């Protein structure tokens, strides 16, 4: 049963869940900075260290739908606090890890617990902010914490690692986490689905978890293994088989972990498709920006982090602004324009070269961030509006899952395109180039210049490709139709 919060507490609830969301996403970015130090401490290879991130991604993807269902069933506040508490515990354990195996185990604990945040936080906000316009504004502000965490990760992580060692990036979660838990206990009201649950879909959870494990694993490791290698083919096989099994299970169980009826709601499917395309293009493209800055512009990791600061500020401004348009302009037009802006921002990256300045990165990043942030609240609000309130947690977990998989797809696809394009460019440039010298020093410089040109052109090609993907994806949202939507009323469909 839901207890309506007092008006003066609603924004405290928003601030409370932002702390949890920010901390969970911050951990995902800040740990990457610590990997070189961890490699030295444990005496492991770079490829072995990659499993620290892979294990986290796998566990997080698997448990998002499970936490969403549990939150709707036993109570969102309860699940939020349990997940947050275990996350803090896992962080402390990771801070005292003694070898690679222990670190992977503790990171899995972190990921399992951290995956509780998104579906429960979104559901808590959806039942706290009832009005469509106010809900969209709250969800927009909350969504901006994702961008803030991605930006502040390098800014916070760099000084921590340099001054206190890599273990500090885990241990810093303890004081902030305790504050977040105390605030959750004080401000968040308990809410759960009004439909009493008598059954938990464990077989559905296991089959979905297995399918996602196979998919995320091949996306993360496919470039290293080879997309048609035996290991990759095994992952494809298990993904298809387990996904088919999951669908059959969900069609028969009385209380499925993912209600397949959601996919009969056109607006729900449309938003998922649009979200997938945008996040695939954005994550696949933006993933390469720090690499380009450090490889070709000579930036340090901390300096690369500074480039992302305007992006966070712009997104935090754009998200609530987009939410304010709820009920004034039809949602599909807001999302269409926001997606076009994001595509244009990424297109501007396609002109980068070794002479580019910081502004040449900051301006496109800011344009892209404005477009992404301007439509983020509207997308989240649609998902919260078109499903029964009793299943908001499950629906939001599906949205989170789609974003995660889209990001993994984007990074996997665009890094593969980048590598293939570099090879193609080297052959093409070499075929039109001539060197009339056999001096070793000159030959080496000639080869280096060809490789430099090939790599820079490959980055520009990937950014152009990503912008085209997002541009084409923007048109999918024009098919969005919401019942009873007019420009003078809130968007809400039961």
**Same domain membership, residue 121 and residue 182:** yes
**Same domain membership, residue 206 and residue 196:** no
**Which of 252, 267, 282 is the C-terminal boundary of a domain?**
252
- The per-residue pLDDT of the chain, averaged, comes to 78
Bigger pLDDT: 143 vs 110: 110
Task: Give yes or no for residue 355 having a pLDDT over 50.
Answer: yes
Record the pTM: 0.70
**Same domain membership, residue 355 and residue 469:** yes
**Same domain membership, residue 326 and residue 234:** no
Which residues form the domain of 287?
A: 259-420+462-494
**Same domain membership, residue 180 and residue 125:** yes
- The pLDDT > 70 percentage for the chain reads 84
Report how far apart, in Å, the C-alpha atoms of 354 and of each of 414, 449, 456 are.
Answer: 20, 12, 8
Q: What is the mean pLDDT of residues 62-72?
A: 75
**Same domain membership, residue 38 and residue 21:** yes
Is 443 within a domain?
A: no
Is 436 within a domain?
A: no
**Which of 157, 178, 200 is the C-terminal boundary of a domain?**
200
**Which of 236, 252, 268 is the C-terminal boundary of a domain?**
252
Is 318 within a domain?
A: yes
33-54 per-position pLDDT tens digit:
777 788 888 887 766 776 777 6
**Same domain membership, residue 481 and residue 416:** yes
Residue 311: which of 361, 272, 351, 365 has the closest Cα?
A: 365
**Same domain membership, residue 136 and residue 17:** yes
CATH label of the domain that carries residue 298: 1.20.1250.20
Is 82 within a domain?
A: yes
**Same domain membership, residue 403 and residue 270:** yes
**Same domain membership, residue 125 and residue 164:** yes
Is 435 within a domain?
A: no
**Same domain membership, residue 305 and residue 389:** yes
Task: Give yes or no for residue 341 having a pLDDT over 80.
Answer: yes
Is 153 within a domain?
A: yes
Burial class (CB in 10 A: 0-12, 13-18, 19+), 37: middle
Task: Give yes or no for residue 494 having a pLDDT over 50.
Answer: no
Q: What is the CA radius of gyration of the chain?
A: 23
Domain count of the fold of the chain = 3
Is 453 within a domain?
A: no
293-318 per-position pLDDT tens digit:
877 888 776 677 677 778 777 877 88
Is 127 within a domain?
A: yes
Report how far apart, in Å, the C-alpha atoms of 213 and of each of 28, 36, 64, 90, 407 are.
Answer: 18, 26, 13, 21, 15
Cα–Cα dist 304/299, whole Å: 6
**Same domain membership, residue 90 and residue 54:** yes
């Amino acid at each position: 049963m839901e207890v309506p919060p007092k008006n003066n507490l609603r924004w405290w609830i928003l601030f409370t869940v932002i702390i949890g969301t920010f901390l969970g996403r911050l951990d995902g970015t800040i740990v990457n900075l610590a990997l070189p130090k961890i490699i030295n401490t444990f005496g492991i290879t770079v490829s072995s260290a990659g499993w620290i991130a892979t294990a986290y991604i796998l566990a997080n993807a698997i448990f998002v739908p499970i936490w969403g269902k549990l939150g709707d069933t036993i109570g969102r506040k309860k699940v939020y606090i349990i997940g947050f508490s275990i996350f803090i515990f896992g962080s402390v354990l990771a801070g005292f890890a003694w070898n690679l195996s222990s670190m992977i185990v503790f990171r899995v604990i972190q990921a399992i617990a951290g995956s509780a945040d998104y579906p429960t936080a979104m559901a808590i906000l959806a039942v706290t902010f009832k009005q469509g316009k106010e809900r969209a504004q709250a969800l927009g502000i909350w969504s901006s914490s994702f961008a803030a965490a991605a930006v502040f990760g390098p800014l916070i992580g760099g000084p921590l690692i340099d001054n206190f060692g890599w273990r500090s990036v885990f241990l810093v979660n303890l004081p902030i986490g305790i504050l977040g838990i105390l605030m959750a206990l004080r401000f968040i009201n308990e809410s759960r689905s009004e439909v009493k649950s008598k059954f938990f879909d464990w077989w559905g959870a296991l089959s979905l978890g297995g399918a996602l494990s196979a998919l995320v694993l091949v996306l993360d490791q496919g470039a290293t293994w080879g997309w048609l290698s035996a290991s990759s083919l095994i992952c494809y096989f298990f993904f298809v088989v387990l996904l088919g099994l999951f669908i059959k299970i969900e069609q028969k169980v009385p209380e499925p972990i993912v209600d397949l009826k959601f996919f009969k709601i056109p607006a729900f499917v449309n938003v998922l498709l649009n979200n997938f395309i945008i996040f695939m293009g954005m994550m696949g493209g933006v993933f390469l920006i720090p690499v380009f800055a450090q490889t070709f512009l000579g930036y340090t990791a901390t300096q690369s982090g500074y480039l992302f600061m305007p992006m966070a500020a712009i997104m935090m401004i754009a998200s609530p602004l987009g939410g304010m348009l709820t009920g004034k302009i039809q949602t599909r037009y807001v999302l269409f324009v926001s997606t076009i802006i994001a595509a244009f921002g990424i297109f501007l990256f396609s002109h980068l070269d070794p002479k580019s300045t910081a502004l040449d990165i900051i301006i496109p990043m800011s344009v892209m961030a404005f477009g992404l942030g301007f439509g983020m609240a509207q997308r989240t609000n649609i998902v919260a509006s078109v499903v029964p309130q009793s299943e908001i947690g499950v629906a939001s977990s599906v949205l989170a899952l789609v974003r995660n998989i889209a990001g993994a797809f984007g990074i996997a696809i665009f890094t593969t395109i980048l590598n293939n394009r570099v090879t193609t460019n080297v052959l093409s440039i070499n075929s039109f180039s001539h060197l009339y010298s056999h001096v070793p020093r000159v030959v080496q410089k000639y080869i280096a210049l060809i490789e430099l040109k090939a790599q820079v052109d490959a980055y520009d090609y990937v950014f152009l490709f990503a912008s085209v993907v997002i541009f084409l994806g923007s048109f999918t949202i024009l098919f969005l139709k919401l019942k009873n939507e007019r420009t003078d009323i809130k968007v809400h469909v039961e």
